[in-house]
Amino acid sequence: VASHVPAWIHVFLRPVFSTQKIFRTDRNYGQIEEFLRANEVSFSPLTLGRFLRKYDASFVDLKTILESSPDRDFDQAFYLFEKLNRIERTPE
């Protein structure tokens, strides 16, 4: 089970799923910035901050946004993604 839910909640699921594994998703904002720099994607700190507040340093969401506008910088890709799409988070 990989989740944004705290690991202690999964203790109650053990009787149901005896072979579960718990992974804490990474919330290191610096890694998002390093990823963009390593992939030579330009970005502004303001737009990156907006993304991090909204999506909480999710690489899955970041890659979805970048894939939606592969020839643009992150600022343009994020603007277009916000204008034309949305990612909804629902409880499971």
- Per-residue pLDDT reduced to its tens digit, 50-63: 998 888 778 888 99
| Predicted TM-score of the model (pTM) | 0.64
φ, ψ of residue 2 in degrees (nearest 5): -115, 130
Are the CB atoms for 87 and 55 separated by under 8 Å? yes
**Burial profile 63-92: b = 16 or more Cβ within 10 angstroms, e = fewer:** eebbeebeebbbbebbbebeeeeeeeeeee
Predicted confidence (pLDDT) at residue 20 exceeds the cutoff of 60 = no
Nearest to 3 by CA among 15, 28, 20, 16: 20
